[in-house]
Amino acid sequence: MISFERALELILARVPVLDAEEVPLAEAAGRVLRERVAAPRPVPPADNAGLDGVAFRAVDVAGASRTAPVTLRLDGEVAAGGRREHPLGPGEAVRIMTGAPVPEGADAVLGVEDVALGPGVVTVFDAVKSGANVRPAGEDLGAGDVPVPQGTRLNGPAVGVLASMGSARAQVGRRPRVALLATGNELLAPGAPWREGGIYSSNSLALAAAVADAGGVPVDLGLVDDTLEATAAALDRALAADVVLTSGGVSMGDYDHVRPAALQVGVSEVFWKVAIKPGKPLFFGLRRSTPLFALPGNPASALLVFDELVRPALLAMQGATSVRTPEVSAVLDAPLRQKAGRLGLVRASLTLVDGVPHVTPQAGQGSGILSSLVTARAVLRIPPDVTELPVGARVRARLVGWKEPP
């Protein structure tokens, strides 16, 4: 049995990085950028107005006041997307719209609500500094800047920044195809008639959602009977995918056939059993370059192990440079106890009290209690040698990957 950190280290060292592909930028959200994209020109490309108003030379209104206003001659207008062909002269002003380039010679803008417009003139009642309400060229990006590093998983702002540079397409990591198998004679497909002794299979659908959230393409291959032959045949077919993800049948019972079946079809074992609770009976191996993750069958265990160890692997396979979800130091609001020997993964609620994260363990911590994950906002990582923590103790809280923090 190996430690959690060693398990993650071995996984990330062995999973392959998939090839890249080009996609329209409109389809790139959630994908991992696999190229260096430098701004070809400043953004914005020219000084532009920060609001609708008038542009002029600040020096021309240096002495303006409510008792001694300054009147300038209006000489046309500049709309967004337009430009003035000749410089603005002394004593002149121009109507200007938000985002329009500031004419040569002008260096300040006032909003229409702060001036008095008349036929062919504008009256200014206050002195302003050079640069007032002007967004300078390159305020956002300079030519040659690389605002979205290679290996970034693209979100809305990142996609927007690439678009502002003129990009219409992006090189991104290919999404891994993840074959899903659930083992167990007791399992029923959701929607099937219930029978005595049956359990509706939740793992495949829950894991499919988690795979998609991590950027993968889930491929549900259905339920597998608890026999060595059926398990080996199902695994052999599944290993045509980029990743295989099974749930159940990986412990030491008479009907736990996943590990021997994996070895039978040519999977090389990297490790089996990790010192975490829940989730100890995790198997990881590869057939050639295809990783196989055999997760526990208990639903909460399966999802927790996925989020802790499989999700980082899927992100790494797409070329992501950051694969672990954020972790914060939080204050414990209820006492906590655990047996020594394994890293405790404790589902918890999370709130902010005066800006400080506070966590409370969920009432249901059993490995089969899936409902506690619905409202969990964090997973507490309790070191293996810690058996008891009082109220007020500081703990490490990892924000869960399937739920946004409050």
So what's the pLDDT on residue 373?
Answer: 87
Q: What is the pLDDT of residue 326?
A: 85
CB 285 within 8 A of CB 270: yes
Structural domains in the chain plus CATH codes:
4-19+174-317 (3.40.980.10), 21-43+139-173 (3.90.105.10), 48-132 (2.170.190.11), 327-399 (2.40.340.10)
Structure confidence at residue 402 (pLDDT): 60
C-alpha to C-alpha distance for 24 and 31, rounded to whole angstroms = 11
CA 100 to each of CA 108, 211, 328: distance values in angstroms, whole numbers, following the listed order: 13, 45, 44
In the numeric block, which tokens belong to residue 398? 């990892």
Retrieve residue 244's tokens.
């295989």
Task: Name residues whose C-beta falls within 8 Å of residue 16's C-beta, 6 or more positions apart in sequence.
Answer: 289, 291, 317
Q: Which two tokens stand for residue 242?
A: 């980029």
Q: What is the pTM of this model?
A: 0.90
Q: Are 346 and 361 in contact (CB under 8 A)?
A: yes
CB 375 within 8 A of CB 351: no
Q: What integer pLDDT is reported at residue 401 of this predicted model?
A: 60
Q: How far apart are CA 92 and CA 88, in angstroms?
A: 6
In the block, tokens 């609620």 appear at: 349
Return the structure tokens found at 294: 């055999």
The DSSP code sequence of 119-149 is TTEEEE-S---TTTTEE-TTSSB-TT---S-
Longest dimension (CA), the chain: 95
CA proximity to 335, closest of 353, 361, 358 = 361
- pLDDT tens per residue, the chain (406 residues)? 999 999 999 999 999 999 999 999 999 999 999 999 999 999 999 999 999 999 999 999 999 999 999 999 999 999 999 999 999 999 999 999 999 999 999 999 999 999 999 999 999 999 999 999 999 999 999 999 999 999 999 999 999 999 999 999 999 999 999 999 999 888 988 888 889 888 889 999 999 999 999 999 999 999 999 999 999 999 999 999 999 999 999 988 877 899 999 999 999 999 999 999 999 999 999 999 999 999 999 999 999 999 999 999 999 999 999 998 889 999 999 999 999 999 999 999 999 999 999 999 998 888 888 888 888 889 999 999 999 999 999 999 998 866 443 3
Q: Are 112 and 55 in contact (CB under 8 A)?
A: no
